[in-house]
Amino acid sequence: SRSIRLAVIPGDGIGPEVVAEGLKVLSAVLPQDVKVETREYDLGARRWHATGETLPDAELESLKGHDAILLGAIGDPSVPSGVLERGLLLKLRFAFDHYVNLRPSRLYPNTATPLALREEQRAAVDFVVVREGTEGPYVGNGGSLRTGTPAEVATEVSLNTAYGVERVVRDAYARAAARPRKKLTLVHKNNVLVHAGHLWKNIFDAVGAEYPEVTTDYLHVDAATIFFVTQPERFDVIVTDNLFGDILTDLAAAITGGIGLAASGNINPGGAFPSMFEPVHGSAPDIAGTGKADPTATVLSVALLLRHLGHDAEADRIEEAVAADLAERDPATARTTRQIGDALAARVSG
């Protein structure tokens, strides 16, 4: 369509600052005839302090009427841990059935990595984690007995359904089949988590029979962390559960230029609900308002958003602009959040 109805949740800390730059680049990259109608939602710590609400039903309903959601960051030290995470961020992911949590990583030229990689390894680091987004230990299926006593017992049960695993595994195969290397790695821990591990591995193998062109691999999650550090170039597409994916994608960010560059999409592939795009980083309250936040992760999340809505050429332009900007970055001359956004906006429109 020639217009994009975009819901914007700037959120907390550096969220509003990085989102402003993301929107700047979005309007710079789109052709004149594609209009963006944005509607901003006041959700996050401020709202919770003012009204006690995290995500009222009316807001959830109104968000549904959009093509996509752009989210900055959620969380503030003044709000008890878990309140906004569960009540807002995870609530959105579950309510809008964001079962594909897509987290690409690429080691752009001139980007710092703590890894000692040979040049040909560096150039080959380009992988995407397909993290399941609606199940696993994130569902809140647990409880505690004798809470607060020395005899306390707590459970946090991971939910894995054939339905939920199959749909995310299918999505990952389709993504792998569409990439040049056509390789898909399942990451789990099926030597210990035998029940869930069995379900994942069986479905992974069964769906794989439909994709003979895709090379498959299996790694236990602990071994996967070693290979992320020693041979990150071996990965193409990775599919894994919600919690393993959470941990692996922070590691992925750390080895590919840091969380200032890590983008993500919370995707509902069928399109019954709006997908939501956000930088992987948090609200970084310690640097909020200082202009130190790097908006690049948000800008790359905007590229994922455009690709999801079928604006591939514009998504490509943003990624090329980021690559060019990174290639010229000089760590000795730090730029502000706005300066980086301006530079990227200029590149995509120029």
75 is in an annotated binding site: no
309, 264 Cβ separation under 8 angstroms: no
Q: List, by residue number, the catalytic residues.
A: 138, 189, 222, 246, 250
Q: To the nearest whole angstrom, how small is the minimum distance from the Cβ of residue 242 to ligand IPM?
A: 7
**Which of 55, 38, 37 has its CA nearest to residue 47?**
55
85 binding partner (options Mn ion, ligand IPM, none; Cβ < 5 to 8 Å by kind): ligand IPM
Distance CA 133, CA 97 (A): 8
Q: Which C-beta is closer to ligand IPM: that of 73 or that of 344?
A: 73
Q: What is the DSSP letter of 344?
A: H
> Which residues within the stretch 200-259 sit at the binding site for ligand IPM (CB under 6 A)?
246
The CB-of-272 to Mn ion minimum distance in angstroms stands at 25
Query: Is 286 marked within a binding site?
Result: yes
The binding track of 234-273 with respect to Mn ion, each residue x by CB under 5 A or -, is ------------x---------------------------
Q: Is 159 exposed, middle or buried (0-12, 13-18, 19+ CB in 10 A)?
A: middle
Binding partner selected for residue 71 from ligand IPM, Mn ion, none, CB under the kind-specific 5 to 8 Å limit: none
CA 265/CA 104 separation, integer angstroms: 9
Q: Which amino acid is at 38?
A: T
d(CA 270, CA 33): 26
Residues 34-93 that bind ligand IPM (CB under 6 A): 85, 89-90
Q: Tell me how far, at minimum, the Cβ of 73 lies from ligand IPM, in Å.
A: 9
Tokens of 270: 């069928």
CB of 35 to ligand IPM, least distance (A): 30
Phi, psi values for residue 166, rounded to 5°? -65, -40
Buried b (16+ CB within 10 A) or exposed e, 92-123: bbbbbbbbbbbbbbbbbeebeeebebeeebbe
**Does 287 belong to an annotated binding site?**
yes
Q: Both tokens of residue 113?
A: 């990595």
Closer of 164 and 279 to Mn ion (Cβ): 279
136: which residues sit within 8 A by CB, 6+ positions away?
A: 158, 159, 160, 241, 242, 243
Q: Which is nearer to ligand IPM, 40 or 85 (CB)?
A: 85
Q: Cβ 167 to ligand IPM, closest distance in Å?
A: 19
User: What gap in Å lies between CA 273 and CA 38, rounded to an integer?
Assistant: 17
* Binding partner selected for residue 89 from ligand IPM, Mn ion, none, CB under the kind-specific 5 to 8 Å limit: ligand IPM
> Is 292 annotated as a binding-site member?
yes
Is 126 one of the binding residues for Mn ion (CB under 5 A)? no
> Residue 21 in contact with residue 3, Cβ under 8 Å?
no
> Which residue has the closest beta carbon to ligand IPM?
85
Nearer to ligand IPM, 59 or 246 (CB): 246
Q: Which of 249, 337 has the CB closer to Mn ion?
A: 249
Residues contributing to the site for Mn ion (CB under 5 A): 246
Residue numbering of the annotated binding site for NAD(+): 282-294
Binding-site residue numbers for substrate are 93, 103, 131, 222
Q: Name the binding residues.
A: 93, 103, 131, 222, 246, 250, 282-294
Contact residues for ligand IPM, defined by CB under 6 A: 85, 89-90, 246, 280
